[in-house]
């Protein structure tokens, strides 16, 4: 049996991620939402979802001793999927909450959309947070894109976005006033700013691809 651990750091949206994974999981796959370090350490695959503020997220990780567990899970080479805050916390630091240190697993930082963000074509002001459906452009092939049409729409809810230092880590971009990074891929890590669990067919396909991924790219 394959076990997939969904990390429970005290945040929201965990159950919807677990339910989405269950809906695409093959027979013999067990989806577990857990804050227990041992459960996460022993899982075959790890999913780190989240929404809200990064300060509370990092506090929750540290309170449960999960910051070290996340780092160890990634270092082990097991397939790892980050969603929303599960992407942002992988960076070295975020501008949110007055400045918050991340896990430092991927070189880069997290910044906020400008309040005066505008559509370059129409000049119309764009709302922050960025909320709703947007087309995603994959920048290089990856197993998690298998079966997903080019420039498919995914669902976003966020005010901050990641800026990786190494362009090789960029898996996908999208446009919201400008082009920004919405997914990264590095070795056994794949992480998205968008919410695949809220993205209907394309999102479920990405989750199914993750459950089948051999973590070699």
Q: Say whether pLDDT at 217 is over 80.
A: no
Task: Give the model's confidence band at 216: pLDDT under 50 very low, under 70 low, under 90 confident, else very high.
Answer: low
Apex CA 15: angle with CA 12 and CA 16, to 5°?
95
The reported pLDDT for the residue numbered 11 is 78
This prediction's pTM: 0.96
Average pLDDT value for residue range 29-57: 94
Task: Give the model's confidence band at 149: pLDDT under 50 very low, under 70 low, under 90 confident, else very high.
Answer: very high
The reported pLDDT for the residue numbered 99 is 95
In 10 A of CB 170, how many CB atoms? 20
Q: Say whether pLDDT at 30 is over 90.
A: yes
pLDDT in tens, 104-119: 999 999 999 999 999 9
| Domains along the sequence of the chain with CATH | 2-212 (3.40.50.880)
pLDDT in tens, 116-136: 999 999 999 999 999 999 999
What separation in angstroms does the CA of 33 have from each of 22, 23, 44, 48, 142? 11, 15, 14, 10, 26
Q: What is the mean pLDDT of the chain?
A: 95
pLDDT in tens, 161-182: 999 999 999 999 999 999 999 9
Active site residues per annotation: 84, 195, 197
Give the percent of the chain with pLDDT over 90.
93
Q: Say whether pLDDT at 144 is over 80.
A: yes
């Amino acid at each position: 049996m394959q076990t997939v651990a969904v990390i429970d750091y005290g945040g929201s949206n965990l159950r919807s991620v677990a339910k989405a994974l269950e809906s695409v999981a093959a027979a013999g796959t067990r989806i577990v939402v857990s804050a227990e370090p041992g459960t996460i350490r022993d899982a075959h695959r790890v999913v780190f979802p989240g929404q809200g503020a990064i300060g509370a997220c990092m506090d929750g990780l540290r309170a449960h001793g999960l910051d070290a567990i996340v780092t160890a899970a990634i270092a082990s080479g097991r397939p790892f999927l980050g969603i929303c805050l599960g992407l942002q916390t992988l960076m070295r630091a975020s501008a949110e909450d007055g400045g918050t240190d991340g896990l430092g697993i991927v070189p880069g930082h997290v910044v906020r959309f400008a309040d005066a963000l505008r559509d370059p074509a129409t000049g119309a002001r764009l709302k922050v947070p960025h909320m709703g459906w947007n087309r995603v452009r994959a920048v290089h092939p990856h197993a998690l894109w298998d079966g997903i049409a080019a420039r498919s729409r995914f669902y976003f809810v966020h005010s901050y976005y990641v800026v990786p230092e190494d362009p090789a880590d960029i898996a996908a971009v999208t446009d919201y006033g400008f082009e920004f990074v919405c997914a990264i891929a590095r070795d056994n890590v794949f992480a998205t700013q968008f919410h695949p669990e809220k993205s209907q067919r394309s999102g479920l396909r990405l989750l199914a691809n993750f459950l089948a991924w051999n973590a070699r790219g």
